[in-house]
Structures are given as structure tokens and as C-alpha cells.
Amino acid sequence: MGILDRMSQVLRANINDLLNHAEDPEKMLNQILRDMEDSLRQGQAQVAEQIAQEKMIQTDLDIARRNVDEWGKKAELAVTKGMDDLAREALRRQDDYEAQTDIYEKQLEVQRKAVQKLKTDLAALEAKYDEARRSKEALIARAKRATAQQQMSSAAGKLSAVDYSSDLANMERRIQEQEARAAASEEMKKDSVDEQFRKLDTDDDVDQKLAALKQKLGK
């Protein structure tokens, strides 16, 4: 698999899904971008190598074409000099270089198409990488929001699964009982004090009656 093919797989991956399941979305996104940068550099080197191959084929084609012309001229010169055997050899050489020319032309056409496709693919990958780099913060924010929503949903599910109403009712009943006991205690204290004052009043009446009785009896 070529560099550009691997890079295409990275870009086709669901980055949002990866971030949603990452413990540290920002760290993971930075790693993804670094991997993309490395792949792009290798892809650029690959394209440069194919362009160099194209130039080499073009050079071979140019040399073959010059040789065709040169041996054609040599064949003409040999004919003008009456040297048919030498002219035949020049024509055979010319035929060989013409055959090479045909081969190089076909190779060059194929290579140019391949280079053009690689350039197009690389440009598309670079554009997607730039887009991912520009949207880095937005992707991180989306991943964090998704994580927060999942946590809130999980917490809500746990709360809804437990019924606290009976516990709250029991607690309220216990508080009411404590309040009633406290009120009863205060009421008992108040009654006790009132009773003491009533006894004092009763004792005074009895003493007065005793004194009156003694006076009546001359005591």
C-alpha cells in the first residue's frame, strides 16, 4: 500500500468517533495531525520521485529522437557518397532508435497520467489536512461536549433508577417526632413552674386560715 493510500485511509476514518472514545481528545487529535503530517511528507516525496522518473523518460525520449535524426542524416550522407552498405547500417540504427522513441513515448504518456493523478490526490489530501488543522479546536470542543453529555446521561440514569421518596418520607417522620418530643418537654417544664406557683398561693391561704383560727380560739 502506497503512502497516499494509507493517508487516504486516515482521512476516511471517523475522527469524531475516535475523539469521542478517547480519554484525552486533544492529545489524540494532536497525534492524528502529526501522523497526517508525516504521511503528507512521505506522499510529497513519493510524488517528487515520480516526477523525477517522468523527467528521466523525457530525457531518454529526447535522446532517441536526436539519434533518429542523426542516423537519418548519416544515411543520406552515405547515399550521396555511394556507400550503400554504410547507408543500410545507418538506416538500421535509425529504425532501432525509432522503436525506442515509440517505447519512450508510451512510457512517458503513462508516467504523466500517473504523476497527474498523484498530484491531484496529494492536493486533495493536503486540503483535508488543512481543514482538519483549522477545525482542531472545534473537533476537541465537540468531543468534550459529547463526553459531558454521556456523563450527564449516565448520572441521570442512575438517579432515575433509585426511588428516594420512601427514605425522604421516613426522614421527615423522624424529624416530626423529634419536634413533637421537644415541644412536649417544653410544655412539661412550663406546667411544672406554674404548679409551683399555685402551691405557693395555696400555702399562703392555709397559713392565713390557721392564723385566724388560732386568734378565734385565743391561742
pLDDT score at 1 = 44
- The residue ranking higher by pLDDT, 4 or 37, is 37
Residues 11 and 39 in one domain: yes
Phi/psi at 21 (5° precision):
-100, 5
Name 15's Cβ contacts closer than 8 Å, sequence gap at least 6.
29, 32, 132, 139
Beta strands in the chain (DSSP E): none
Flag the least confident range among 121-130, 151-160, 174-183: 151-160
Residues 148 and 182 in one domain: no
pLDDT score at 49 = 94
Average pLDDT over residues 11-29: 61
pTM tops 0.85: no
Q: Is 80 exceeded by the pLDDT of residue 81?
A: yes
Flag the least confident range among 8-17, 77-86, 101-110, 174-183: 8-17
User: Number of folded domains in the chain?
Assistant: 2
Residues 98 and 196 in one domain: no
Residues 127 and 34 in one domain: yes
Domain boundary among 115, 137, 160: 160
- The residue ranking higher by pLDDT, 104 or 164, is 104
Q: Is 80 exceeded by the pLDDT of residue 98?
A: yes
Q: Which domain holds residue 176?
A: 168-219
Q: Is 80 exceeded by the pLDDT of residue 140?
A: no
Residue 66: other Cβ atoms inside 10 A: 12
Residue 213: pLDDT band with limits 50, 70, 90: confident
Domain boundary among 160, 177, 208: 160
Average pLDDT over residues 51-67: 96
Q: What is the mean pLDDT of the chain?
A: 79
